[in-house]
Amino acid sequence: MYLKYLIFLVCLVSSNAASFQNSQLDANNRVVGGSVAAEGSIPYMVALRTGIFIRFLICGGSVITTRHVLTAAHCIDSVYRRGSLSIFLRVAVGTNRWNIGGRSFSVARNITHENWNSFTVKNDIGILVTGDIMPLTDRIQPVSLNFDYIIGDIASRVAGWGRIVVGGPLSNRLLVLFVTTVDGDECSKALNYNISVAEQFAKYDPELELCAFSTRGKGVCNGDSGSALVRKNNNEQIGIVSWGYACARGVPDVYVRLSAYKGWIENALSGPS
């Protein structure tokens, strides 16, 4: 896990098979403070999973073209060993349950930001290229990307299958949480007040990252990384779940700011399939 003093990334590979099995048995699991998403209401939602007989949830992601999934670089890192992706990695789309239903696709290759830094948690962005085209249906649709510089007080939402508490089970159903973006200065103050060692590693950078918050007791947690932060008014993606302070402890969560990576994303999408 990306555990560094009091900060840890809010979605990493879960620790053992038992926790995954337990998460599938509890129908009441929730993203911290979230609610069950209506079937088909988030058609861009992706579950990154691995495993053969027992499936493991890695992270979330978003469909941005019929061959490309946008996610966090640290999610890709977790299934990348000795110069290649795990052969068991799959992209699941078109379902509100990460472990069943929908369509599953293999991954041909990854495009991870060349300046991704796992220690400072900066440039935490990557793209997975599927082996086959993902056919578009009413349950599978790309999300539109918004490259505007996002300020505070923008009503937004995030969805995922992440843990309901630190070390707790995952959700077997897709959960959605409505949040509001937080001004850069306000977020910096909140993070630095609660995380005295922030200056040593994952210091919040308002040019590369944006913050969002709901209320204490609500927020993203392990399993939600890579998922899309979208504007509520137009359903356009503005961020990617990256890191935070514990889970729902009354501190804003930190997202990759898409506006900072407009050129990188466009260049990645224009490359070979």
Identify the CATH number of the domain in which residue 189 sits: 2.40.10.10
In-domain check, residue 35: no
3-state secondary structure of 185: helix
User: What's the predicted TM-score (pTM) here?
Assistant: 0.88
* CA–CA gap between residue 126 and residue 115 (Å, rounded): 11
In-domain check, residue 98: no
Contacts 24+ apart (CB under 8 A), 183-189: 183/151, 183/152, 183/153, 184/152, 184/210, 184/211, 186/152, 186/211, 187/211, 187/252, 187/254
For 7-40, the pLDDT digits (tens) are 334 433 333 333 333 333 233 334 687 889 999 9
* CA–CA gap between residue 96 and residue 209 (Å, rounded): 28
**Percent of the chain whose predicted confidence (pLDDT) is above 70:** 85
Return the pLDDT at 140: 98
Return the pLDDT at 20: 30
* CA–CA gap between residue 71 and residue 117 (Å, rounded): 15
Cβ–Cβ under 8 Å, residues 191 and 251: yes
* CA–CA gap between residue 129 and residue 269 (Å, rounded): 10
* CA–CA gap between residue 121 and residue 225 (Å, rounded): 12
Return the pLDDT at 201: 58
Question: What dihedral angle (degrees, nearest 10) is formed by the CA atoms of 69, 229, 113, 208?
Answer: 170
**Percent of the chain whose predicted confidence (pLDDT) is above 90:** 68
Residue 169: domain span: 145-260
In-domain check, residue 250: yes
For range 244-257, the mean pLDDT? 89
Which amino acids are annotated catalytic?
74, 124, 225
For range 82-95, the mean pLDDT? 95
For range 171-181, the mean pLDDT? 95
For range 146-167, the mean pLDDT? 92
In-domain check, residue 153: yes
Tokens of 155: 């009503």
In-domain check, residue 4: no
For range 140-167, the mean pLDDT? 94
Return the pLDDT at 166: 73
For range 80-87, the mean pLDDT? 91
- 10 Å Cβ neighbour count for 51? 16
Contacts 24+ apart (CB under 8 A), 17-20: 17/54, 17/56, 19/169, 19/170, 20/54, 20/55, 20/56, 20/57, 20/170
Residues 6+ apart with CB under 8 A from 145: 64, 70, 236, 237, 258, 265
Strands (E), 97-141: 103-112, 126-130
For 213-225, the pLDDT digits (tens) are 998 889 999 899 9
Across all residues in the chain, what is the average pLDDT? 86
* CA–CA gap between residue 236 and residue 244 (Å, rounded): 22
Report the domain count for the chain. Answer: 1
Tokens of 133: 């085209």
In-domain check, residue 27: no
In-domain check, residue 28: no
In-domain check, residue 1: no
